[in-house]
């Protein structure tokens, strides 16, 4: 058990660092070949915080641990909204001036509902994967069009300000060559340790994916959100979360859908975890639509409410975790 925990911790640390280096190289390469900084900021860097989830879920699906692959996505989305936005709002209330975000919140909510509809039959199939792939392409088209037509939106301005410095092609390729293999190694460590912990504790892979793995792979989102708030980049703080949640569902879940299609590994996903994920997005949408806070999306009291929801969910998870 001690060795498994050590593997998880080492895997998470290496995962976060290698993902950062990989995205640093990918963004640098994109800029070196002439891709617009707006596109680099919104697409490549915007999705960069989800690289740990990509690596872990893909490797877990390849190794037949669909519980970890799916739990990582659903748990990360829950963690992003309830824990990360809750903690971030307690640090500093989150304001929202971006028109793009006001569209992205209902889009993310709709995509969350789409996932529920896809798995209501108790399985994640290749047909579901095709639907997710179509949704991902549609999302990319929307994002590219937005980057072209709304370049002065506060979110896009903040994303450009946070772009990594321009790199030479050689240096960018070097970071990609370093980051990608380390991502795979870190993911292998994390999945191996997580599966062993699940067996030792007598809980399902899904529960480990929803908790240890999800919280660990969400650390980049936490760091990005708090850093954005401290720099008065509130739109970027919420934009990182919404972009990550969209990417998690539409892109990352294609891995278990195409690689290891089949029944949902735990029925509690349908009755416990997915309703919480959708409910949190509805809460966020309601906060964005409420006139009470003015330009504030999440005040400290609402941040406390989100955090309370996460604590309550974690307690329920602990009580229902055993086989």
Over residues 144-191, the pLDDT tens digits come to: 888 888 878 888 887 777 777 778 888 888 988 998 898 888 888 888
pLDDT in tens, 53-69: 888 888 888 888 888 89
pLDDT of residue 114: 97
For residue 132, the model assigns a pLDDT of: 97
Contact 66, 205 (CB under 8 A): yes
pLDDT computed for residue 296 by the predictor: 66
Summary mean pLDDT of the chain: 86
pLDDT of residue 139: 92
Among residues of the chain, what percentage have pLDDT more than 70? 96
Query: What distance in Å separates the CA atoms of residue 172 and residue 319, rounded to the nearest whole number?
Result: 47
Q: What would the mean pLDDT of 204-220 be, rounded to a whole number?
A: 85
Averaged pLDDT for residues 210-222: 83
What's the mean pLDDT in 26-33?
Answer: 80
The mean per-residue pLDDT over the stretch 270-278 comes to 95
Confidence of residue 122 (pLDDT cuts 50, 70, 90): very high
Number of helices followed by number of strands (H, E) in the chain: 18, 4
Q: 322: pLDDT confidence band, cut at 50, 70 and 90?
A: low
* Structure token digits, residue 295: 């330009």
HSE-CB at 277 with a 13 A cutoff on CA atoms is: 33
pTM: 0.88
**pLDDT computed for residue 292 by the predictor:** 60
- Strands 94-95 and 296-298, sheet pairing: antiparallel
Q: Region 212-230: what's the mean pLDDT?
A: 81
Q: Residue 133 — pLDDT band, cuts 50, 70, 90?
A: very high
pLDDT at position 46: 66
| Predicted local confidence at residue 295, as pLDDT | 66
Least confident of 72-86, 147-161, 238-252, 283-297: 283-297
Q: What is the pLDDT of residue 91?
A: 87
Exposure string of 173-200, with b = 16+ CB inside 10 Å and e = fewer, is bebbeebbebbebbbbbbbbbbbbbbee
Predicted confidence (pLDDT) at residue 294 exceeds the cutoff of 60:
no
The pLDDT, as a whole number, for residue 115 is 96
Superfamily, domain 2-319:
NCX, central ion-binding region (1.20.1420.30)
pLDDT in tens, 81-107: 999 999 988 988 888 888 888 889 999
Buried b / exposed e over 246-258, threshold 16 CB at 10 Å, is: bbbbbbbbbbbbb
Q: Is the pLDDT of residue 228 over 80?
A: no
- State residue 202's pLDDT score: 81
pLDDT, mean of residues 235-254: 89
């Amino acid at each position: 058990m001690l060795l498994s925990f050590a593997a998880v911790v080492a895997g998470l640390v290496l995962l976060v660092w290698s993902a950062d280096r990989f995205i640093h190289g990918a963004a640098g390469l994109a800029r070196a070949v002439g891709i617009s900084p707006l596109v680099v900021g919104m697409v490549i860097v915007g999705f960069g915080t989800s690289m740990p989830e990509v690596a872990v879920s893909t490797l877990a699906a390849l190794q037949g641990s669909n519980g970890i692959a799916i739990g990582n996505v659903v748990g990360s989305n829950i963690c992003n909204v309830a824990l990360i936005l809750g903690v971030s709002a307690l640090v500093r209330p989150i304001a929202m001036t971006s028109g793009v975000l006001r569209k992205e919140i209902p889009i993310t909510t709709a995509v969350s509902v789409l996932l529920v509809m896809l798995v209501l039959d108790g399985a994640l199939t290749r047909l579901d994967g095709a639907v997710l792939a179509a949704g991902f392409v549609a999302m990319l088209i929307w994002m590219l069009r937005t980057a072209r037509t709304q370049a002065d939106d506060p979110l896009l301005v903040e994303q450009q300000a946070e772009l990594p410095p321009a790199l030479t092609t050689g240096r960018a390729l070097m970071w990609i060559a370093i980051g990608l293999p380390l991502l795979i190694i870190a993911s292998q460590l994390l999945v191996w340790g997580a599966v062993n912990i699940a067996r030792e504790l007598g809980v399902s892979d899904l529960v480990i994916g929803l908790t240890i793995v999800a919280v660990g792979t969400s650390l980049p989102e936490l760091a990005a959100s708090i850093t954005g708030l401290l720099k008065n980049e509130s739109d970027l703080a919420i934009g990182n979360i919404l972009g990550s949640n969209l990417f998690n569902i539409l892109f990352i879940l294609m891995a278990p859908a195409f690689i290891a299609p089949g029944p949902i590994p735990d029925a509690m996903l349908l009755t416990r975890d997915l309703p919480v994920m959708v409910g949190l997005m509805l809460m966020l949408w309601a906060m964005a639509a409420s006139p009470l806070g003015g330009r504030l999306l999440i005040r400290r009291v609402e941040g406390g409410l989100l955090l309370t929801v996460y604590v309550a969910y974690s307690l329920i998870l602990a009580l229902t975790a055993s086989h």
